[in-house]
Structure formats: C-alpha cells, structure tokens
A and B are shown apart, each in its own frame.
Chain A
Amino acid sequence: MTEPAHPETPDPQEPAELRLGHTPRGTAANAVVLALTRAARSFLLYDPKNEAIRHFLDVLRETVEGYCEEHGDLPLVVRPFELVVDGEVVYLDRDRERSLAFRLYRDGVRKVSLRADVTWPEVLKLLEVLSVRFVGVRQTEDDMVVLLWKAGFQHVEIEAVEGFVPDEELGSDQLTDDVGGAGGASRGHQVDAPADFDLPAPVLRSRQPVELRELPDHWREGLVAEDAVSHLPELCQLLVDALLRLVADPTEALEFSEVVPQLRELRDFVLTEAHLPVVLRFAGSLARLELPEAQRRERDQLLASFADRRALARLVHGVPRGVVEAPQELVDLVALVNEDHLEALVAVLEAETSESSRRVVRSLVERHVQAEGEAIIKCIPGASSAVACELLRTLRYVNVSRAVEAVRVSAGRSDEEFESAALRVLEVAELSPVVGALFGTYVNSTHAPIRAHALRLVATRHAQGAFPAVLDRVKREQLRLNPLDAEAYGEALAGADPARAHEVFRDWIRPKGFFAVLGPPMLSWVAVSGLSVLRMDDVEELIQHAAKKAGSELQRHCTACMVRHRRVIRGARP
C-alpha cells in the first residue's frame, strides 16, 4: 500500500512556486503549467497508485480544460528557465532540478503548443513523457525528443532540437570532405563484412509479371494490428522460444547465461502485463529446457521467480475484478514452479488491499491447503490479523480439524479479529476436549464481545470441556460482573455441563454452613440465570429460595427466570 498523501498541503521542503501572469490568459497559463509540473514531479514522491496522483491529474484536467475553453491555444515557448506565452512569462523556476522549463530546454524542446481542441489522452501522454524525464529515467532506446515524436500528437505541436547539423551560414561545411560531417560519418571502420555476405542469394527460377493491385483496407488493418502493443506478450513468447531453441542447439554459440538478462526482462514485462497464458508458456518452455548440470541452478532460480511474491502479486492483481477463483493458468503456473509458495501467498495477502484479489489468493491457498496444511498452521501465529484470519477462514472451508489445530497453536494471539475468526472455526468444529478447552480460552478473552460470543457458543454447543474455565472465570470476576454478564455465564455453565452446573448453582443459592443464608449476590444471579434453562426437579424451589433471600433486583430477575424456566419445561424456547 502506498503512503497516503495530502496533496492540498504544500511540501515544506519545496519552495513556493511563482504565481505569474499579468493578464487573465497568462494567469490561466501559469495555472496549467504549474498543474503540469506538479503532476509530473509528483511521481518523484508518490507511487502512481497513490491517491495524491489522482488529485494532481484531476487538477491538471480541470485547468487545461478551463484554459482551452476560455483562451484557446496555449503556445508555450521554452527558454532555459522560463515558459513564455506570446511574450508573457507564465513560468519561471531557476532551480535546475525542479524546473520544468529547464528540463524541457535541456532535452531540446523549444516550443510546446497545446491546441484548444487538445484531448485529455494527449495531455496525459504529454505528462507521461515529462514524468519519465522527471523521475530521471533515461532509456537506451528513446530520448525525450524521440518520445514526443513517437507520441504522434494531433493537437499538441512540439518544436524540438532533432540533432545538430553543419552550420552552412558559417561556412563550416567546406571541410566536411576532409574531416567528415556531423553525426559520425564513417572513417576508418574496423569491421569488414565478408564479400559474399547475404549470399547465396535466393534461388528464384521462375518469373511472374507484376501488376498494380490495390489491397483491401481490412487486409492492411489486419497486418498493422500485428504490430500493435497488444501483441507484445505473444512476441515475448516467440523470442523466448527462439532464444531457448538457440541455447539448446549445439551448433550455436549462444550460452544460457547470455540470454538470462533478456529472459528476466521478458519475464518482468509479461508479469507486468499479467498475461497469464504467456507467463505459463514462458515458464513451461524454461522448465523443459535441458541444460548441463552447472547451468540448471540458474535456470531453476529464474523459473522460481515466476511464482515468487512479486510475481504472484502482479499476476493476482491482473485477474479481472469480480473473478474470485484463481484462473487455471495461475494454478498451473504455481504447480509448475516447484517451490513452497505459501510464504509468498501470505505476503501477497498482507499487501493486497483489493478484496477481489484477496479472494483469488485465498482460492490459491485453498488449493494447496491439503498439501501445505502444516505450513499454513505454522504461518498463522506470526501473520498479521487480516492474513491470519484469511488463512484460518481458508482452512475452515477446506479442513476444519486443521483449522482447529491452527487455532490451538495460535491461542496466544489476542487480537480481536483473529479471536472472532477462531470462534467461527470452533462454531463448526466437532466437539472434543481440545475444542472445549479452546472455548475456555476465549471465555477469558480481553475483548468483551469475544467473551460474550464464546459464552454463547459454550452454551449452545454444550462444550463440556469449557466448564472449568467458565467456572473459574465467574469466581474470579464475581465482584465485577454486571447482570448481563452474569446471565451469560449462568447459561454457559448450564449448557456446558448441566449436572455439574446444577451442583454449583445449588451451592451458591444454598451455601453450606450454619450462618450462610445466600451466596454472593452476583453468583446468585449467575445461578438463577443458569437454573432457568435446566430441566431439573428442584429448579423452581431453588429459584424461589433465592428470591426469598434476595434484594429487589434479584427478586425481579428470579421471577423472570421462573417464567423462562416454565417455558423451557414446556419445550418452548427460553
């Protein structure tokens, strides 16, 4: 999860930006440029996923739309530290690291004109190019001018330095014959291609006269589409197959170690795209590659990275929203990579905030729970509340007895969320001394709602094993009990072990000893409550006895309990 941000609050480290423009148009242009700068620079501070970025984008969109509606075109002339609109300085920042103008100028951009009909995707594309430079990325393949050229803007005009040429006006080209022109004209090159390079020429024995023939548009469109970005994952797979074929070919000089960096790049790309079929095929090709022993380790490491924490996070995030089951390719991928994935899956659960993605991870855990049940149980004590609950829920769906075991080993956890999840496990678990004892654990929870829930379960599930813990708790807490707690304890004791409870209640109402008349008031309250749900002969007599000796509040409670008891006797719900 990225750090939350408060984009309204200026960063104290950042000097204030100059508000410039002495005309309405200049002021509006200043607002656009500042919005653009802030948005581009924001990627230095925030992850693109951060909410702050969305805010910056919203502001940028509003200011650009507002400007264009009001003032039309925005022709920004770029000077080393300034941006100028029709002679009016609308941006000035002399700080080389911060200045949008300086970065543009240094990269060769001399004018950026946004036409009034500029579209939001174009503004976004412009921002994308600027952001790439602001975060300091320098690609081997493209510089800023190339990126702007490639953007193919329809409503943004860029005037940029595209290179340098001999200055004809200064007469400097007269020596180019002697010393070569600009841009590295060839002199004294070292490499000679063989004289017969690219031979033998293709053998084309027959001839077919050529004629002009128009080709249908749909055919062109089909071919152009082959080169579309959407086909890149398939191209990645083609390259992977080609490279691995070369590695496996003994006549080729290419070594596996030479292709590993490229394979890593391709892996990262297909993972970023979360293109599952290609990821699976890629990993499959790698798994099938036969290599000498010495190189297998490198191959296996690479293979493992297809289902590590980072990879799983990306793939899970790429599953369309609303899909709650892991796609089959993902399941197969995890199975193909012979690693213990649980730690990675737990880590993904820890980091993932989308409920949809969490469900997908859970479904993966479910699939591996039988094989990795022990590992999951070991993970739970140390996991965060949310993840421990996820894992526990998953175990409960798949194997309740393992879930009970997980609750047992995690009994030391005292977070309310986990305790609640644990009770949900115990709710469906088969009763056993262990389960009973665990109920007892949660009866002693520090969280009142958990205690109440545990007591209800002890009562309804007749958890005999919990009886000692409940009784112990009542005795310890008797001075702090309120009437509602007392009722819950009474019913829990009665539900857990009716015979023993009857004995205990009787002792509390008719304590042994010459001078004893009635036990401590809250214990009597517990006893009367518990007696009301018991089907024993002397229940009414005990309640009446308690009422006689009690104060007015307990008397009223005794009356209510008597009524309740009679309903119980009749078979009605208490």
Chain B
Amino acid sequence: MTDPSDFELSPDQESLGKALDAARAGEDKELAQQVRDSGEHFVRLLTGLWRLMRTHDPENDAFGGPVTEFARVVQQLFDLLGPLQMVCVEGQVYVNDVRIRTDERMGGGADLEQELRKHSCGGLRFEVPITEPHVRSMLHVLAATPPAEDPLRALQQGLREAGLESISVNGLFRLRVSGEDAARPARAGSAGVELHQTLSRATGLVADAWDNLAAGRTPNPLPLRRMVNDIVDGAAAAEDVLADEDASDVELGRSDAAYARHSLRVCTLSVLIGVELGLSPPALSDLGVAAMFHDVGYAAREGGFAPPFERHGSAGARMLLRQRGFHAAKLKRILATLQHHDDAAQGPILLARIIHVADDFDTLTRRRTGGALYSPAEALERMNAAAGRRYDPGLLQLLVNRIGKYPPGTLLRLRDGRWVLSISGVRSPETFARPLCRLVRMPDGQFVEVGPEVDLALGGAIADVVPSREAEREAWLRRSLPPRSLPPPPSSK
C-alpha cells in the first residue's frame, strides 16, 4: 500500500471531489426529503383510496383515517410547494415536476395512471388545500363510471358540480425525449408554434413562481430552468415571438399577469443577447432563469404593499435568499436581481448588464394603457444614445445586431401606403434595415386579418415608423373590431 504521505491526489480525483462537494453544497436536503416523503405519501394514499372505492362507498367509516391523512398531506405539500400539479405519465408520477418514488407493492405509479386513464386524465391540479368533505366528494367523482364520450370533460364537469372548482384535470401526457423534434418531419410554422407553446407555459410557470415566493415558500428554479432550456434550444425563433405580443396575452388570458409576460420577454431578449455573445448553453440557461426572476421583488409585500421601484431589487434578492444550497446560478441570479437597474459604469455583473438592456428595452416598448412609451425602433435609438453610460455598449450593440433597425413588433408605414409589422430580426448584414414583415393594412386602409409576408429585402420602401401610441390604437382596433368595421388609418406624415 502506498504510504499516505506519498499519496498525492490525481487531477481527476481532485475534480471529481470538487464536483461532489459542489453538488452536495447545492442541495437543500431537508426540503428535498420533505417533498419526496410527502409526495410519496400523497401518491400512496390516493392509490389506496382509489382501491378502497372498489369495495366501499366513500362515506364508509373505513375512509375516515385515510381521508384525514390525505387532506393533511395535501396541506403539507401545499405549504411547501404551493398549488399541486400531479402528473402520471408512463408509470411515473410527478408532483410539481418532482418525480415521486412510488411503492411497487401498490403497483407503483402505474395503478394510479391506469385509474386516471379511464377518464382520459393524465393529472390533477389542486389550487388550494382540500378539506376532508371535499376529499370524499372528489372520490365520488373519480369513482364514477366515465362516459364513453369525452370522459375528461365529464370528469371536470363532475368536479365542478361537486363544488370542487379548485381541482382541475389534465389530459393524457407523454414523455418528451430530447431530439424527438428533430426526428419528426417538420411542419410548416411548427417551430413558431412550439415556441409559442413553450412561452405560454413559461408565463404560467413565472406566475406560479411569483405566487410561491409571495406566499413565503422556497424558490424552486428547476421548472423554470427546464423551460428556459427550451427557450435556449429554440432561441433562433425567439425573435418571432417578440413580434407578436398577442400570443402570450391570449394564452394567459389575464391582463394582470403583465409581469409574467414582461419576465418572459426579458428572458427571451436576454437569451438572444447571450447567444449573440457566444455564451455556452449552461450559461444561457443561468442567464434565462435569472431574467425570469429579475423583477420578482414586486411580489413581496411591505406592510401589505408592493415595494417601490428603488427596493424591488433588494426585495427580490431577499426572496431568492430563501433557496438553500450553494449554486453558481443562484449566486448570479441574486446579484442580477440586485443589480439589474445599475448603470454599466457601476460595474454590475455580466448577467445584470445583459438583463438591464433587455429589461429597459421591454419596459420602453411593452404595451401598457395609453400605448407603449416608444416603438421598438425608437426605443433602440434612445437606448443607443445612452450606451456606455447607462448600458454596456457592446451588449446593446449585440441586441441591435440581432433585432435590427426595425425590431420585431415595429409597425411601419411604407411609401406605397401599406402598413406592415416587422416580424424578423436581422437575417443578413444586408437586411439590417430591411426586415421581413407582415402586411396589416392595405394602401386603401383596409385591415388584413392574416396578411401575407412582405420581405422588405426584396422591395418596398419604408416611409416611417408608426409611433407607439398610434400603433397601440391599431392593435386595439385589430383586437376589438371586426375587420370590415375598422376605420381608415391616419395618413402617413
């Protein structure tokens, strides 16, 4: 045996040792254990109750103990995680994206999945903790024989009728394996559709994250990170989404979740800058998650009120501090949350400087009552004038290089009287000021519902950029009035 004093670590051992130390440092063992234990208990109880229903009526005394216990476990999980989303897929059970260990003696997750599948149901969502009487009501509904037609809708309807509006049901799921999109034949516009789906899910996740942090729970970045990784993978198409604010609005269906849309757009813009810069995918992932959380301080309450602008960064950092375990991403995220409004001259970290550019661009251009402050094109020019002082000039230039002189979402008047909406970033150096557009009004002022693409690289001269208030009016009219009743647009200057 080697004399211990002669034994020096090999570099491989050293790096493995460090990696394990880092992983252990990034673990919140207590929380992970609680979620897993409670989640396992939750699945076991639900499976057991379902089995019991085969032989007993839910009002039977035999249900007493398990029902009480089930209500308690739901409360416990709710305290830890907020609204509960249980998904059964391919024999596995996930609670809020955490895979739950299942008891093989009870058929693992497969039994529960099988029972739910009878209703064409793949998952249940509990918006609030459930009381014991409600547990029994839920069991009644779940035990009912599903109709042959549209069983999922019937299940949801049954829950509503039982007064269980806080429980919603999901359709069936399948596991999504990496690379499967590439293997499938491409559908026209499929990238955009998938990206929109990703983004609409992301807005929901951001809103969930805010709710949980506001309720004093521990931050759980993992679901957002998975989502951000999708955005990173689809970054090539991200600018398309910037062109179309309506998409996330429609999916969200709520005007008061503007913060979620803002977070998402800042994330998308930040990732675009990061890609231009040449950040690695893991670094882009960290950047995206940081951007998702950058304004979370507004979810905090100081004596019942949201913190003022000056303190939303520190309020956000205070919330993020609740996450236990060292991780480089967390460290950068907290710093970015604190520094994302600092001027470049103050020396904020790279992620904060990127998010600052993305954040201000969205703040200046996002739709708000009375219209955006500036059109995307004008916002870029104004930010450009502050480069070096307020913004990192290189990072701003990367954004400019990517989204061009007329960024996606800019409404343009052409010399021939047509109105077009910019829908692309820079496709080549020659198209920096000649984006791909979509026709929104004919020269005679007629509104075009789904207009054809107009590639300004092939022709068409820009008269001017439609100012933001006018563009807002146009967007409002397009959303509110039937096409035929649209008034003529204001004439170009």
Contacts and interface: CB of A to CB of B under 8 A. Distances in A.
A48 B299 CA distance: 43
Contacts of B338: 242
A268 interface: yes
B277 A140 contact: no
Interface in A166-204: 166-167, 169-176, 178-195, 197-202, 204
A421 B359 CA distance: 68
Interface in B91-107: 92, 94, 96-97, 99
A207 B379 CA distance: 9
Contacts of B178: 145, 149, 158-162
B94 A164 contact: yes
Interface string A127-167: 11001100101111111011001101000001111111111
A236 interface: yes
Nearest to A194: B306
B335 A238 contact: yes
Contact of B324 (A158, A194, A261): A261
B171 A166 contact: yes
Contacts of A1: 4
21 contacts: A48-B20, A141-B26, A142-B26, A149-B229, A150-B285, A152-B281, A164-B94, A166-B122, A167-B122, A178-B153, A180-B168, A187-B125, A210-B400, A215-B394, A224-B277, A224-B278, A227-B279, A227-B350, A229-B328, A232-B331, A272-B21
B309 A210 contact: no
Interface string A208-224: 11111111000110011
Contact of A183 (B97, B210, B280): B97
A206 to B, nearest CB: 4
**Shortest beta-carbon contacts, A-B, top 9:** A172-B171, A48-B17, A185-B204, A186-B204, A204-B382, A193-B259, A208-B385, A150-B282, A172-B172
Given A140-B222, A184-B205, A224-B278, 10 more contacts: A53-B13, A139-B27, A164-B94, A180-B204, A186-B252, A192-B256, A202-B364, A204-B386, A208-B385, A210-B384
Given A162-B178, A175-B153, A49 B13 contact: yes
B2 interface: yes
B87 A164 contact: yes
A209 B381 contact: yes
Contact of B19 (A47, A128, A355): A128
Contact of B298 (A57, A194, A236): A194
A280 to B, nearest CB: 19
Specify which of A253, A259, A266 lies most central, judged by the most chain B CB atoms within 10 Å of its CB. A253
A235 B335 contact: yes
Interface of A: 1, 4, 43, 47-49, 51, 53-54, 57, 106-108, 110, 124, 127-128, 131-132, 135, 137-143, 145-146, 149-150, 152, 158-167, 169-176, 178-195, 197-202, 204-215, 219-220, 223-224, 226-227, 229, 232, 235-236, 238-239, 242-243, 246, 251-254, 258-259, 261-262, 265-266, 268-269, 272, 353-355
A253 to B, nearest CB: 7
Given A139-B325, A179-B168, A207-B385, A193 B23 contact: no
Contact of A149 (B31, B205, B281): B281
B302 to A, nearest CB: 7
Contacts of A353: 4-5, 7
A103 to B, nearest CB: 12
B137 interface: no
Given A160-B178, A172-B120, A183 B204 contact: yes
A210 B32 contact: no
Contact of B176 (A141, A162, A268): A162
Nearest to A179: B168
B229 A206 contact: no
B401 interface: yes
B223 interface: yes
Given A48-B13, A158-B178, A190 B328 contact: no
A187 B125 CA distance: 10
Contact of A57 (B13, B20, B315, B330): B13
Could you say which interface size class chain B belongs to?
Answer: 35 or more
Contacts of A163: 97, 175-176, 226
A371 B328 CA distance: 40
B177 A212 contact: no
Nearest to B99: A106
B416 interface: no
A212 B397 CA distance: 8
A207 B335 contact: no
Contact of B26 (A140, A192, A232): A140
A198 B307 CA distance: 11
Nearest to B10: A54
B76 interface: no
A377 to B, nearest CB: 27
B231 to A, nearest CB: 13
A198 B207 contact: no
A374 to B, nearest CB: 30
A188 B127 contact: yes
B349 interface: yes
A204 B18 CA distance: 47
A266 B204 contact: no
Nearest to B325: A140
Given A165-B173, A235-B331, A159 B179 contact: yes
Nearest to B94: A164
B302 A202 contact: no
B61 interface: no
Specify which of B26, B125, B251, B335 lies most central, judged by the most chain A CB atoms within 10 Å of its CB. B26
Interface string B224-252: 01110110000000000000000000011
Contacts of B311: 251-252
A236 B201 contact: no
A153 to B, nearest CB: 11
Interface stretch (B213-221, B437-445, B470-478): B213-221
Contact of B16 (A4, A127, A189, A272): A127
Given A204-B385, A207-B382, A239-B331, A140 B87 contact: no
A54 B152 CA distance: 56
A176 B177 contact: no
A183 B277 contact: no
Contacts of A149: 178, 229, 281-282, 285
A260 to B, nearest CB: 10
Given A186-B203, A204-B382, A224-B278, A140 B28 contact: yes
A253 B302 CA distance: 9
A140 B401 contact: no
B9 interface: yes
